[in-house]
Structure formats: C-alpha cells, structure tokens
Structure 1
Amino acid sequence: MRRRIAALTAILALTGASAMADSGSTTGRFDRPAHGFAPASTVLTQAQPEQAGLDAAPIRAVERRLAAWTADDAVDGHPLFPGAVGLLAHDGRIVDTYATGSAVRYADGSGTELPEEAQVPMRAGTIFDLASVTKLFTSLAVLQLVERGRADLETPVATYLPEFGVNGKESITVRQLLTHTSGLEPFLPLWRDWPDRASRIKAVMDVAPRDEPGTTYTYSDLNLITLGVLVERLTGSTLDTVVAERITRPLGMRDTGFNPPRAKLDRIAATEYQSAPDRGMIRGQVHDENAWALGGVAGHAGIFSTAHDLAVLGQALLNGGVYRGERILREQTVRMLFTNYTAAFPGDDHALGFELNQLWYMGGLTSPATAGHTGYTGTSFVVDPLSRSIAILLTNRVHPTRSWGSVNPARQAWATGLARALAVRPARGRDSWFSGAGDGTTATLTSPRLTSDDGRVSVSFAAFVDSEATDRLVLEASTDGGTTWQPVGLRASGRGAPTGTVDALSGTGHRAWWKVHGTAPARGGVTVRWRFTTDGSYTARGVHVDAIRVTESDGPLLDGEHDPAALTTDGFQLRSR
C-alpha cells in the first residue's frame, strides 16, 4: 500500500496536483519537488553548477570516480570501461558535460592496446551505440500513432499485424508490448538461426508466448522488434525514417539515428570485438547481433546518439513533449511515460516504453515518477520530473569485450552525484547531520550518556530519508554504556512516511522531512544513537537527521540544535544543504 501511495504522490506532482503546499522556487532543491511540467519554452543552456543552485562538490567527486574507472587496473587488471561521456542537467541548464578515457583503445578481444597514436580519446561530442535505449524511440513512435488514431493501446497487435496473431498471441495488446507484459520470451538468436531479414521477422511473428499474456513481467527484445514492425506497417515507412522525420529532426538531434553515415565514423566510440558472428572490432555499426542481422534498423536496438542530443530529448519530455516550439507528443501522452502500468509486478515498474523507479541505475534521482532506460553497450538515460533533472551516462563498456563487468555502479554514482548536488535544507537551524554512506557501510550519531530519574525518555527528531529499502536508519538505546543496543520503535509523520510504529526508516521518492518520535528506556541513564547501515548493493542520496531533542518529564536532556558538539559522529557530517 505504501508503494502505491508513493507512486500516486509522484504522479500528482507531475500532473500539477499538489500533495503538499509548495512555497518558493524548486531550482536547486531536492527537497522541494516540482509540480507539473517545465515551461514549454525551456531550452537547454550551459551553466556552472552554482548558477543552477547546485553544490559542485558532489559532481566533481563523481567525475573523479568516472576517471578512475577508466584506469588500467580499475577492475581485475583492466578498466571497468575504456571511456565515458556524462551529462547532467537541471532546470533547463546543462551543469556538467564530462568526457574521460578513450573512445577507441583496443585492437582485439583480448585487450591488446592499439599504438597510442591510433587510439581515439573520448570527447563531449562522441557518438555512442545506445543499444536498448533505442526502445524509447520506438515507443515514442508508437505513441505518436496512438495520438493520430492509427493505433490503440488496448487493441490486439494482431489487428495491425495479422501474422502476429498466432500460437497464443491473438490477445496480446499494444500496451502489453510497451510494458513487457506480453509473456514473450526475452530473446531469440535471430542472427544465428534464420538466414535473412524476412525469415527473422517471421520468427518473431511466429513465436509462442512463454507465459500467459498479462500474468508476468518479462523484459523482451521481441516486444520492441514487433512494435518496430507495427510502426513500419502503419506508416508505410521504415522505422529509421519515422524516427528521423517525427522525433530527431523536429528536436534538432543532428547526431541521432540508425546506421550513422561513414562521414561520422571518426566520432563514434568502438564497441566489441566479435568472433561469433565474425565481425572483428565493431565501430560505426550496431553492436547488437540481432539488430545487425536486421540491417541495423530494429525496434529494440540500433540508434546511435550523443549525450547532448539525448539531453534535448530529456528536456522535451520535461517540457511536456515540446522543444523549441516543436511538439512530438501531447502533454497527456507524456504523462503516460511517467505513469506505472505494472503495479501488479512490484520492482518492475514500467510506463509505456520507459522504466520507472529503478534504483540500480537511477541512484539518488530514483522516484516512482523517474523514467529512463539503459543499454547493453553501457549507456543510461534518466529523467527526473520531480527535480526537473537529467542524468546521462554513455560508456563503451563492451570495448573490447562484454566480459569485463557491469557499469551499474557508475550509472548509479553518476545520477547520485546530481542528486547530492541538489539541496536538502535543514528542517531547523543552519545545518543538519548528513550521511551518504556507501555500500556495506555503517554511520552512527551518538549522544552522551543522559541521566534521568524517569523510567523512559522521549526522543524526537526530523529525518529526511532517501535510501534503498534495505538501507535503514534506526534509533537505538543503550543503558549499559554502549555495550548492548536495543531498537527504539518510531512513529513518523510527513509526506510518504510509514504508518504505525516501525523499527527503521528507509525508502526513496517522497523527498520530504518527516517528524519522528520514539520512547527509550532510561532507568539509571541512557545513551541513544542514530545508525544508518547500508547493504552491499545500491545506494540513493542518503539520510539527514535534524532537530534532535531528548526530554524527560522535567525538561530537555539533550538539544541537538543548541549543542551539536555533544553528539559523537562516525560517518555523519553537519551540512547546510
């Protein structure tokens, strides 16, 4: 129930309905979610982080982490990825574009380095194979057809593609393909098992569902390959032409499209050295084997782009479907890109084509309304309407081989860098205690021993929590000088706060201060501490604790606002934002 309430709150914010009074500007603020779309006239401009109300320090810190991941010995004697371009934008301003490492570095799949003069450095304008981020463009093209009345979300796909309506697929709808609830299996080796494009498309049309349509969420390339065919059938044009004429050209995305021209080859990042199929080092052609076997144009993969072009797309969505006066979708359609259609499958939140609420790559920008997608080649695209922010990370992580590891830590860190650059103002006074503990870490904030004649003391504080569900902020009490600690039950109030008495606080998406109260045993004296412990994977923005008071019947025993030095900290820091 709490998950559904959080999702509704995020959607209300996006559509302009306020769940809580909002006073003042949202610029530079994480704790003041925006309501509705950005002004339709918003056009991206360059700015320093400080000019957008941001703290530059977290951004510079994550830049250093990206650079470190390109080092020779970053992971098991090799880089996590040879190079990357990251872009961060907030409130219509591009506050960081950072390029590091190499666009081309290796000669073969074993990691033999090219001579230095043959290597190509990464640049801000490097063009990347987006891999599955392509699915977003196909989804936008489908929704344009829905707007024009050419397709309907609840109509069976077989109405438009009769050859699809076989082997149990007769009832699968357009919406089920867009939300990966069709029951189709994830993948078929089209490039290997079928000889030409026609037979490969027929294989997708003929496949039987693995599960009953509508009963499960299974991410599937076949869904988007089918939608690509649907777009071509209903428009009479090829998918690459539709994307160019109806999306990228109107938005001015000059470096975005399928099968980039050879004239741009020197700007394109290399991907993998493939031996099966025997393609050698791939550069300028789509990496995905099935998309390659379909001529480089497919609904699931094949588009190339730059960080800046993707930022334009992100801003168009934040603007409600328009950029520089060119509208690609109506506002009500864009809302469907930020609305969860898969609530029946918790953890797999999905809008129409876009993923939602995925901490593993959205990091500190995660919320029920945060939308995006990743690509196998090492790309990620995150759009957060609550802070009107965009985080784009493009890497060539499969160069020279896909076996060198996952870039999810980098994806998550990049988005979290922007989240931490946004301000959370103290609930009271000039600063609050903040912990952004990393994976597998514990931070504590501990009171001195407090003497009371009462059997119990009251503890009140404010908490701003943005963490993975399993990264928990707890209040504990000790009556034996810290040898043993007992959890203190907590009651919290505020937007998105848990109901009833709980033993810990955690979660993402609410972006609000909570008022928290607990009662701790105190006979013979008591020490209280706040402990924030993270597990081994995924972290969000972090937690703030403020306005600490411990009282007995005769009055206060500890006032953290007046005497913050009385608290002993290990992993918490006083922050003004």
Structure 2
Amino acid sequence: MLKIKTVFFFITLTGLTCVSNFTNAQMAGNPGITLIHQIDSIIQSQVNDNKIPGAVIEVKKGDEVIYKQAYGYAQKLDYELRPLAQPEQMTTEHLFDIASLTKMVGTTTSMMLLVDKGLVHIDDPVSKYVKAFGTPDKAAITIRNLLTHTAGIYEWYPMYYRAHNKQETFKLIGELPLAFPVGEGRHYSDLGFTVLGEIIEKVSGLPLDQFEEQNIFIPLGMRHTMFNPLKKNQHYKIAATSPGNPYEKRMVYDPALGFQFKEIKHNQWNGWRHYVVKGEVSDGNAWYAEKGVAGAAGLFSTVDDLQKMVDMLMNKGMVDGKQFISENTISTFLTKDKFKNGLGWMMDPENSFMKDAPEGSFGHTGFTGTSIAVVPSKKISVILLINREQMGLIDGKQYYNVNPIRAAVFKAVMKYTE
C-alpha cells in the first residue's frame, strides 16, 4: 500500500508521461505502478482520441487514497462544438453535475436519516405522505417501491411541458397514470425519486436542498456538494456538460426513443437552452420544472466530497468516531431485493460499471458520465467522473457511451489491488 501511495505522488508531481518510463519488469513487480499505468492508459487514450473531454478519478483502498488524477479538460468546446482557443484544464477540484448520483448522495442518504430517526418507515404507503397516491391504482405503492424502482411510475416524462415549479411537478406526478403493475418489475424511474424528494420535504419541513445541506453535507464535511452552485457567493471550478439539451429534446421529438405522450405537443413549450450548460443541472426536469433542485438530479460535487460519503457507508455509518447513520439502517439499504439491487443503490454485479463485483458491492451511475463503485469486502472504492456531454451528440443521436471506460477501470482496480 505504501508503495502505491508513493507512486501516486510521483505521478502527480512529474506528469503522466513518466508512467511510460517504467519498464515492463518494474511494472510487473509493482502492482501499484501497474494499476496507475492501466488507468492512465484507459482514460488518457479516450481524451487523446477526442471521445471524452476530461475526467477525474479517485481510487481508495482501506484508509489510503491510492490514486487520484485529473485528465483533459473541464470545457473544451463552445455551443457550436467548436474547440475553444483556451480550453479549461480539468483539476481534481472541479465540481461535476453528478446527475443520478443525486439519487444516492442526496435522496437515499436523506431517507436513511429519516428512517434512522423513526420519522419514516420503508414499508409505509406513499399515500401516508402524499395524498395524491391514495387512489386505487397507487394505494399499494410504498417508499420501498420508490427506492427500488418498482412503483410502476413512468420511467421519464417531460414535466416542464406541463409544470413550471416543484409544486406543479409534484401535483402532475400524482395525476399521471401508472405505466407498470406495482412491485412486479424494476423500471428505473426519475419520477419515483422526485416523489421521494417531496416526502423528504414534507416530513422534515425543509426544502430539499436545505435539508441535505444541514443534515448531510455540512456534518460530513462535504463543503463542495450543493444544488445550483452558480447561486452561491463563491467562484467554483465547474466542469461543463451539454451544449443545450439536444438528447432530451430528441426524447420528446423522436418516436424511435419510445418516450411519446399523446398529451404532449411539441409547440406547447420551447424553453430549451441554447448555450453550454455549466453550473446548471443538465437534466431538463430538474432544471426547467424544479429550478435546479430535485430528488432525481441536480447535485454538484467533487471527487473528494463523494469519497467522504463513500467512506461513511464503508465504515458502516461511523464518522470521526461517531455514528452518523446506524449500522442497521445501512445494512437494510444495502441488502439485495429480488431484482438484485438495494434500496436506492445498485448491487447487481451484471451492471457494467462494476461487472463481476464481489457479493455486497454497490454503486450507481449518472447520465452525465459520473459513477461510484464500492467493494466493501475488499475495502475498495472507485469514483470516476467524466463530463461526456461536453462533446455533444454523436451523429445527432446520443452521447458517447462511457460504460466501457468504467468497466475497464473497475477491472484494472480489482486486478491490481489484491
């Protein structure tokens, strides 16, 4: 372990090119050097090939950060996808739009705290907190169903066509019909986690962003984790995401993606952004309909802050010698259901970002290119943040698929940290 950490400082101070100065024999005899070489080769090649603009990675084993590095650029292109004359270099201090990691870092952790305090019970019917769910079709939906994506709620819906703030958004979700039978299948739903955000607000009496700041981020020392960073009285380094919302617009307009709703007419709304999104949440529902604060998306964070959250979970709720969340609650949330996932957290080892992970591993991904993979049995975590949306859509259809990068990095970490 000590050798690995020494190499981390050497690489950071002398530059990535020094990795190639090691002979094959030296790398073969030092798994720490080999791991760094593998990670650098995987990520830097993607940057060099203009597949991704940049990335930040942090790998930790036990109490030691064995590698932390930034690659490429925080912003490389303008709105027209033209190269900037002076692209912004990526650093490990940059904030990323963590997209659906918001569901874990913010919403799921909030639910853990409320469950821990006895203010919420996992198998409570949602209608106990949200009256709109008291209808015959929704009465059976529980908080567990929302956390496990088994509530039968629409997977996605362009809320901003019919809602302009969070109150209207909450009301609209309550009015929408179910898309699937309750409890009979896992259908990943942003709307379900938006409802969890509503429950957190109702139970706590605080807006979601204030509750999470006061009860999670400040206590854990996550000083660079927040919603709407541009509204703060500080200048943060922030990685840029998409030029507007071209993929989400395609979700509304293109029947081939399967998200067509007969009540949605294209000309009903035209508030699309026509600039590079930077410091505003990329997710359309979170930005257009909920002003940047949602249970499904909206958080910005750094790799170091995310590591603090991971450390708390890895240490079974202990932080600085104190129990932040009870071990029992964490165990409950990190126990697999019949669909091989936990409450909020993904645990199925078939997920490509943590392929073939040992039993008990957990993690999640974010649409912007972010991911967390945690292997408690080996005390290993891999946090990989990629601002893939900055490159725009490939052939006007989709963002670059970073799952192979995630899989290759995770495989290398598992291989060389035995």
TM-score normalised by structure 1 residue count: 0.60
Inter-CA distance 361–92: structure 2 relative to 1 (3 Å threshold): farther
Cα offsets for 1:149-180 (capped at 9, x unmatched): 11111110101111232361111001111011
* 2:186 is the counterpart of 1:217: yes
Residue 127, structure 1, aligned to residue 85, structure 2: no
| Equivalent residue number for residue 298 of structure 1 | 294
How far the C-alpha of 1:49 sits from its partner, in A, is 6.5
Measured against aligned partners, the alpha-carbon deviations of 1:263-308 in whole angstroms (never above 9, x if no partner) come to 5555000001116512411101111000012011100000100111
CA-to-aligned-CA distance 1:188-213 (integer Å, 9 cap, x gap): 10123334432222111222221111
Would you say 1:389 and 2:366 are equivalent positions? Answer: no
Give the deviation of 1:65 after TM superposition.
1.5
- 1:278 counterpart = 2:273: yes
Question: 2:346 is matched with which residue: 343, 347, 355?
Answer: 355
Q: Percent identity?
A: 30
Which residues in structure 2 correspond to 1:39-438 (within 5 Å)? 47-48=5-6, 55-71=32-48, 74=49, 79-108=50-79, 110-116=80-86, 119-136=87-104, 137-166=106-135, 168-261=137-230, 262-274=232-244, 277-293=272-288, 294-341=290-337, 343=338, 345=339, 349-363=340-354, 366-402=357-393, 403-423=398-418
Q: Structure 1 counterpart of 2:88, which letter?
A: V
Q: Distance in 1 between matches of 2:67 and 2:356?
A: 16
Quick one: structure 1 residues 371 and 87, their matched pair in 2 at CA, closer, same or farther if it must change by over 3 Å?
same
Once the two structures are TM-superposed, the CA of residue 55 in structure 1 deviates from its matched residue by 3.1
Amino acid at match of 1:298: A
Conservation of the 8 A alpha-carbon contact between 1:361 and 1:380: no
Tell me by how many angstroms 1:228 deviates.
0.3
* C-alpha contact 1:271 1:396 (8 A) present in aligned 2: yes
Structure 1 or 2, whichever has the larger Rg, is 1
Check conservation: 1:363, 1:412, Cα contact below 8 A.
yes
Deviates more, 1:266-275 or 1:285-294: 266-275
CA distance in 2, matches of 1:216, 1:167: 19
Q: 2:233 and 2:370 mapped to 1: Cα distance?
A: 23
- How many residue pairs are counted as aligned between the two chains? 365
**Cα distance in 1 between the residues matched to 2:292 and 2:322:** 28
Separation (CA, whole Å) in 2 of partners of 1:199 and 1:231? 17
Shift, 1:359, TM fit: 4.0
**Letter of the aligned partner of 1:390 in structure 2?**
S
The whole-number CA distance in structure 2 between the counterparts of 1:263 and 1:102 is 24
Does the C-alpha gap of structure 1 residues 140 and 266 become closer, same or farther in structure 2, counting only changes over 3 Å?
A: closer
1:232 is displaced (CA, Å) by 0.1
CA distance 1:320–1:163, shift in 2 (3 Å): same
- Which structure exhibits the higher relative contact order, with contacts defined as CA atoms closer than 8 Å and separated by 6 or more residues? 2
Alpha carbons of structure 1 residues 399 and 281: separation in structure 2 relative to 1, 3 Å: same
CA 1:150–1:340 in 2, change beyond 3 Å: closer, same or farther?
same
- Report if aligned partners of 2:8, 2:67 keep a CA contact under 8 Å in 1: no
Q: Quick one: distance in 1 between partners of 2:311 and 2:187? A: 29
Query: Per-residue deviation at 1:80?
Result: 2.0
* Offset of residue 365 of structure 1: 6.5
- Aligned letter for 1:319? N
- Give the distance between the partners of 2:236 and 2:218, measured in 1 at CA: 22
Displacement of 1:334 in angstroms is: 1.1
Whole-angstrom CA distance in 2 between matches of 1:362 and 1:195 = 35
- Partner of 1:386: helix, strand, or coil? helix
CA drift of 1:328 comes to 2.7
- Which residue type is aligned with residue 92 of structure 1? D
In the aligned structure 2, how far is the partner of 1:419 from the partner of 1:178?
Answer: 28
The question of whether the paired residues in 2 share the 8 Å contact of 1:80 and 1:406 is answered with: no
Change (3 A) 1:333 1:266: closer
- Greater shift after overlay, 350-359 or 380-389? 350-359
- Name the amino acid aligned to 1:387: K
Query: Comparing both structures, which one devotes a greater share of its residues to strand?
Result: 1
- Measure, in 2, the Cα distance between the counterparts of 1:212 and 1:364: 29
- The CA distance in 2 between the partners of 1:374 and 1:178, in whole Å, is 15
Aligned with 1:273: secondary structure? coil
Quote the Cα distance in structure 1 between the aligned partners of 2:33 and 2:7: 6
Matched residue type, 2:66: V
CA contact (8 A) 2:239 2:278 kept: yes
The verdict on how the C-alpha distance between 1:419 and 1:317 changes in structure 2, with shifts beyond 3 A counting, is: same
Structure whose residues are more often helix by fraction: 2
CA distance in 2, matches of 1:418, 1:337: 25
Q: Pairwise CA RMSD of aligned residues?
A: 2.1
Question: Could you tell me whether the CA contact under 8 Å between 2:240 and 2:279 is conserved in 1?
Answer: yes
Once the 2 structures are TM-superposed, how far is the Cα of residue 362 of structure 1 from its aligned partner? 3.5
Which residue is 1:539 aligned to?
A: none
SS of 1:412's equivalent?
A: helix
Which ranges of structure 1 fall in alignment gaps of 5 or more residues? 1-26, 29-45, 424-577
The CA deviation string for residues 403-435 of structure 1, in whole angstroms up to 9 with x for no partner, is 341110111122222111122xxxxxxxxxxxx
CA contact (8 A) 1:158 1:164 kept: yes
CA distance in 2, matches of 1:408, 1:362: 6
Question: Which amino acid in structure 1 is aligned with residue 286 of structure 2?
Answer: A
Q: Distance in 1 between matches of 2:136 and 2:234?
A: 43
Q: Secondary structure at the match of 1:233?
A: helix
Local SS of the residue matching 1:399: helix
Rounded Cα–Cα distance in structure 2 between residues aligned with 1:337 and 1:257: 23
